[in-house]
Structure 1
């Protein structure tokens, strides 16, 4: 099992706040770090849950994304297959 962790940011479409996301991917297959960085760099703005869906689709693996927005910590989990 491989574990990949990456931090990235995106703007909340509701209030314009810059949100810092912590992404963790667990996968038995290798995921190139360049693919992780490219997939997250494409995300400039979005809702937390939609960002999680998009990354799960593009990168695969079991993913957890955590961010704090307006004092509320949000954690989403997307499981592969």
Structure 2
């Protein structure tokens, strides 16, 4: 099992706040670091859950994304298969 962790930022479309996201991907397959950075770099704006869906589609594996928005911690989990 490979575990990848990456932090990235995107703007909330509701209030314009810059949100810092912590992504963790667990995969039996190798995922190139450059691929993770490319996929997160194109995310400039979006709702947390939609970002999770987009990254699950692009990267695969089991994913957890955690962020705090307006004092509320949000954690999404996307499982492969």
State whether TM-score is above 0.5.
yes
CA apart distance, 1:30: 0.1
- Identify the residue that residue 13 of structure 1 maps to in structure 2: 13
- Identify the residue that residue 69 of structure 2 maps to in structure 1: 69
- Identify the residue that residue 50 of structure 1 maps to in structure 2: 50
- In 1: Cα distance, 2:80 partner to 2:70 partner: 29
CA deviation vs aligned residue, 1:38-57 (integer Å, no higher than 9, x gap): 00000000000000000000
- In 2: Cα distance, 1:20 partner to 1:7 partner: 7
Give TM-score scaled by structure 1 length.
1.00
- In 2: Cα distance, 1:14 partner to 1:60 partner: 27
Say how many residue pairs are matched.
81
- Identify the residue that residue 37 of structure 2 maps to in structure 1: 37
Displacement over 2 Å in runs of 4+: none
